[in-house]
Amino acid sequence: MQGHINPQRIPFKVRAIASALKEGGGQPFIVGGSIRDILLGKIPSDWDIAVDLPPGDVLAIFPGACTVGIEFGRVSLGDVDVVSLRAEKDYEDRRHPAKVTFGVPIDKDLERRDFTINAMAWDPFSGEVFDPYGGLEDLKCRALSTVGGPLNRFQEDPLRILRAVRFKNTLGFNLDSRVTQAISESKALLAQLPGERIFIELKNLLLSPSVYRGVMDLYDYGISSIVLPEIDKAPGAIGRSLAACRPDLTVRLAVLLGMAWAGTPQVSDDVERFKCRFNLPAGLARDITWLVANSSPDEILNKETLRGAWRGSRKEEPGYYDDPGYIIRRIVYHWGTHQLERLFEVKHAIWRGSGKGGIPKGCLFLASGMWSLQQSKACGAKDFEVALDGADIMKVLKVEQGCIVGQALDYLEEMVLRNPEVNNRESLFKILLEWWSKQR
């Protein structure tokens, strides 16, 4: 593989930052994953520039830069990080070095990096590629090797174990035999890492096109039992199911957990523990909880997840639970069209991953309701918002604010979701008065 890099492939912003550093007396190098990606013909998602200036001098050139991480020589300018050349020593907390020395040569800076393919630098002014550890050859052979001994690298920061598995799958590389052996010997260290750091790597793996192979690697290397034990129940089926759906984090997590926890009654408690383990956003956990509770392909829907659907008059007129249109309208009203589409995809992916053909009962039911929704004039959540509010109800019924108003709104919501055509003030006033006459 040739080490030539076309300067035109470097964004103007990156070249401008490098030029400013050069004018400020520094020698900038574009380093790391951005060089790797360019040499592989990919478009980097972010950029690192290493420079032989101390952090204070860099900040003097870019006074508005973000200084989070400046103690390790890093300042950020959006998607471009400027890092002072440095050497590191003694990773006491399995992540941060206890000692940082600035002002080292470029090859010494590259020495601290994890894998050889990430330990290359390019001088944007001379065009020279610095490759002291054989990264170009490893790119050519599609091999993943560490800079130095892999066991030492993994003991410094065990997250590199997950990065090795991720690079193997997202780049299509093979692990060096010494890396594989070091994973076996040091994987237990992953239990010492915070869940947030682990999830960053798991997320990248779960959203990759090679998610099936990634899941199998986590299982085969004995890593999943430490970082994601939910996989161990059925790694092959889970991997196939994840590969059968689009790379949406909510969908793929719901598929994974829906298969791992199939038949588990306390889904909300399980998701809450999963959320706390990885410090996930509350909104993501809420959406996953609902999808997992309804993930069984053979079942239509868990009644308990339909907000307000089983109160009052609903019990007097059975049959609405069998109406796809009603169920879909209620899902759209409370959860939105996007979540409905996710539910269909979750059910179908689990079905396919289990090796079954055809279309499951749950998907057929949802598809029927979605078709009915598309044929109607009212198809969005706002179309089902009751045309009367609490003030209207208090005025018509001559009551004060309280539980009666809430019961009336629940009843009107039910009537609108059964038949959206009644969602106008005149019809709802009539329905409200009829309901009120039966309550007195």
Can you give the pLDDT at residue 60? Answer: 94
Q: Which residues make Cβ contacts (< 8 Å) with residue 278, sequence separation at least 6?
A: 195, 196, 198, 199, 202
Can you give the pLDDT at residue 314? Answer: 45
Can you give the pLDDT at residue 313? Answer: 43
Average pLDDT over every residue of 60-79? 90
73 and 112 both lie in a single domain: yes
Can you give the pLDDT at residue 308? Answer: 56
Instruction: Say whether pLDDT at 372 is over 90.
Output: no
Can you give the pLDDT at residue 373? Answer: 82
Can you give the pLDDT at residue 398? Answer: 87
Give the span between the Cα atoms of 35 and 136, in whole angstroms.
Answer: 10
Return the SS3 of 5. coil
50 and 81 both lie in a single domain: yes
Domain count, the chain: 3
Can you give the pLDDT at residue 178? Answer: 97
Can you give the pLDDT at residue 305? Answer: 79
Average pLDDT over every residue of 173-189? 97
Return the SS3 of 235. helix
27 and 91 both lie in a single domain: yes
Mean pLDDT, the chain, integer:
90
Can you give the pLDDT at residue 350? Answer: 96
* Lowest-confidence segment of 200-209, 220-229, 283-292, 308-317 by average pLDDT: 308-317
User: Which CATH number fits the domain that encloses residue 206?
Assistant: 1.10.3090.10
pLDDT tens track for 276-317? 999 999 999 999 999 999 999 998 888 777 765 444 444 445
164 and 278 both lie in a single domain: yes
Q: Which two tokens stand for residue 84?
A: 């002072």
Q: Which two tokens stand for residue 260?
A: 């791992």
- Percent of the chain surpassing pLDDT 90: 66
Bigger pLDDT: 245 or 262?
A: 245
Q: Which two tokens stand for residue 335?
A: 């959860």
Instruction: Say whether pLDDT at 389 is over 60.
Output: yes
Average pLDDT over every residue of 98-103? 77
Can you give the pLDDT at residue 262? Answer: 81
**Residue 191 within any structural domain of the chain:** yes
127 and 164 both lie in a single domain: no
Helix (H) or strand (E) holding 159: helix 159-171
Can you give the pLDDT at residue 97? Answer: 64
Instruction: Say whether pLDDT at 319 is over 60.
Output: no
The residue with tokens 């609405």 is 320
* Lowest-confidence segment of 79-83, 161-165, 233-237, 300-304 by average pLDDT: 300-304
**Residue 120 within any structural domain of the chain:** yes
**Residue 438 within any structural domain of the chain:** yes
Residue 249: burial class (beta carbons within 10 Å; 0-12, 13-18, 19+): middle
Instruction: Say whether pLDDT at 46 is over 80.
Output: yes
Average pLDDT over every residue of 382-392? 88
Amino acid at 356: K
Other C-beta atoms closer than 10 Å to the C-beta of 282 total 9
| Band of residue 264 on the pLDDT scale cut at 50, 70, 90 | confident
130 and 165 both lie in a single domain: no
Instruction: Say whether pLDDT at 72 is over 90.
Output: no
Find which of 65-79, 94-108, 175-189, 424-438 is predicted with most confidence, using mean pLDDT.
175-189
Can you give the pLDDT at residue 374? Answer: 80
- Percent of the chain surpassing pLDDT 70: 93
User: Which CATH number fits the domain that encloses residue 130?
Assistant: 3.30.460.10
**Residue 372 within any structural domain of the chain:** no
112 and 173 both lie in a single domain: no
Can you give the pLDDT at residue 28? Answer: 96
**Residue 320 within any structural domain of the chain:** no
**Residue 346 within any structural domain of the chain:** no
User: What range does the domain containing 130 cover?
Assistant: 7-141
Q: What DSSP designation does 42 have?
A: P
239 and 164 both lie in a single domain: yes
Residue 189: burial class (beta carbons within 10 Å; 0-12, 13-18, 19+): middle
- Please give the C-alpha separations between residue 11 and each of 22, 24, 45, 132, in angstroms, as whole numbers: 17, 20, 11, 25
Average pLDDT over every residue of 363-387? 83
Can you give the pLDDT at residue 6? Answer: 84
86 and 168 both lie in a single domain: no
Give the span between the Cα atoms of 375 and 407, in whole angstroms.
Answer: 31
Can you give the pLDDT at residue 302? Answer: 81
**Residue 317 within any structural domain of the chain:** no
Instruction: Say whether pLDDT at 275 is over 80.
Output: yes
158 and 133 both lie in a single domain: no
Can you give the pLDDT at residue 207? Answer: 96
Can you give the pLDDT at residue 188? Answer: 97
Can you give the pLDDT at residue 310? Answer: 40
- The residue out of 114, 141, 168 marking a domain boundary is 141
- The residue out of 234, 260, 293 marking a domain boundary is 293
Instruction: Say whether pLDDT at 248 is over 90.
Output: yes
- The residue out of 293, 309, 341 marking a domain boundary is 293
Average pLDDT over every residue of 417-427? 91
160 and 196 both lie in a single domain: yes
List the one residue out of 335, 127, 135, 355 whose CA is nearest residue 244.
355
Can you give the pLDDT at residue 312? Answer: 47
Can you give the pLDDT at residue 114? Answer: 93
The residue with tokens 């076996």 is 184
**Residue 32 within any structural domain of the chain:** yes
73 and 199 both lie in a single domain: no
Can you give the pLDDT at residue 318? Answer: 53
